Amino acid sequence: MMFKLQKLTTLLAALPLLTTAFPATQATEKTPLPLIIWHGLGDSYRADGLKEVAQLAEEINPGTYVHIIHLDESDNGDREATFIGNLTEQIAQVCEQLASEPILSTAPAVNALGFSQGGQFLRAFVQRCNFPKVRNLVTLGSQHNGIYKFQSCQSSGDWVCRSAEALLRFGRWSDFVQSRLVPAQYFRDVNEYDSYLEHSNFLADINNERELKKTLYKSNLMSLNRFGMFMFSDDTTAIPKESAWFAEVNQTNGEITTLRERPIYKEDWLGLRSLDEQGKLDFEIIPGPHMALSEKVLTEIFTEYFGPVEVSDETSTLPQLMVAQGT
């Protein structure tokens, strides 16, 4: 979801997006880790709002190297990829992109920030690849348990969004739509649960909901130092908003089944219960509608989750590059 950072002041206009390279450090020296960002639906890695976020990250934690994930070099192409594309292929592309970036791949670890749908995509990166190794993951208004209503296009002249809407008419569970329409790949309706389990190209797999559980997904997610899940209090864009906390919402009566009440937690399909029991899983609220972010909120997040850390044996252990194939 596109957004514009509110009340952002004292930005350094001349500061390049990619800041200083990750410095060589002694084992006990504190240093900021690189930060990777995945933007949301309808946004582009070249958007001004994301540039402001990158600059703020460097202001709060000087020396932070920021990499904004992109699926196309062009502004329009990257935006189009948020609507149209195969998520399995896109995440594999991002795994290669981050592993091939020298500053990221040689860092002891990185931090990760996901806006809206970019949050569940970053979680998929951690579960499937996790190289470079992610230390702290923060997701803002992300649809971890999917959506049961598609967002309407804001403009009748938005041909990319309109094209995505047209694809839905072919049937959200068709192989054609599930391999092409990005939001359809994290659509989840409990009233159509059998169809979802059978045909979902992305979410049913990444949430380990099918009978065969992928142990790599659990072990990789459990390797996080902290996982901060932020929900917007007045979110009417990502429906249901409680998906940001992995909650299940009854479409008929609005009854909420929290993460801790669900099998995904009780049976620990992803390691979320393990993280929670170690105090590493955070449920946070941001006041306001979807992606209404202020400098104050982002400053608190950057300070709390992305501050300098000591380079230790723990952070310098890099996992092997791999993509889960049923393990």
Q: Is residue 296 part of a domain?
A: yes
Interior/surface letters 167-205, b for 16+ CB within 10 angstroms, e for the rest: beeeebbeeebbebbbbbbbbbeeeeeeebeebbbbbbb
Inform me whether the pLDDT recorded for 195 exceeds 60: yes
Q: Is residue 297 part of a domain?
A: yes
CB atoms within 10 A of CB 218: 18
What number of residues does the chain have?
327
Q: What is the average pLDDT score of the chain?
A: 87
pLDDT tens digits for range 54-64: 999 999 999 99
Per-residue confidence band for 154, with pLDDT thresholds at 50, 70 and 90: low
pLDDT tens digits for range 163-185: 766 777 668 899 999 999 999 99
Beta partners for residue 113, in sequence order: 37, 138
Q: Is residue 84 part of a domain?
A: yes
Residue 27 or residue 255, greater confidence:
255
For residue 83, give the 3-state DSSP assignment. coil
Residue 254 or residue 224, greater confidence:
224
Per-residue confidence band for 142, with pLDDT thresholds at 50, 70 and 90: very high
- Its pTM stands at 0.86
Cα–Cα distance for residue pair 159/191, rounded to 1 Å: 31
Q: Is residue 237 part of a domain?
A: yes
pLDDT for 173: 93
pLDDT for 223: 98
| Domain containing residue 268 | 31-151+215-306
CATH of the domain at 281: 3.40.50.1820
Q: Is residue 299 part of a domain?
A: yes
Tell me the catalytic residues.
116, 235, 290
Cα–Cα distance for residue pair 238/289, rounded to 1 Å: 10
Q: Is residue 262 part of a domain?
A: yes
Q: Is residue 301 part of a domain?
A: yes
pLDDT for 126: 98
Q: Is residue 68 part of a domain?
A: yes
Per-residue confidence band for 149, with pLDDT thresholds at 50, 70 and 90: confident
Inform me whether the pLDDT recorded for 21 exceeds 90: no
pLDDT for 317: 43
Contacts 24+ apart (CB under 8 A), 48-55: 48/4, 49/2, 49/3, 49/4, 49/5, 51/17, 52/5, 52/8, 52/11, 53/5, 53/113, 53/298, 54/17, 54/19, 55/11, 55/12, 55/15, 55/17
Q: How many domains does the chain have?
A: 1
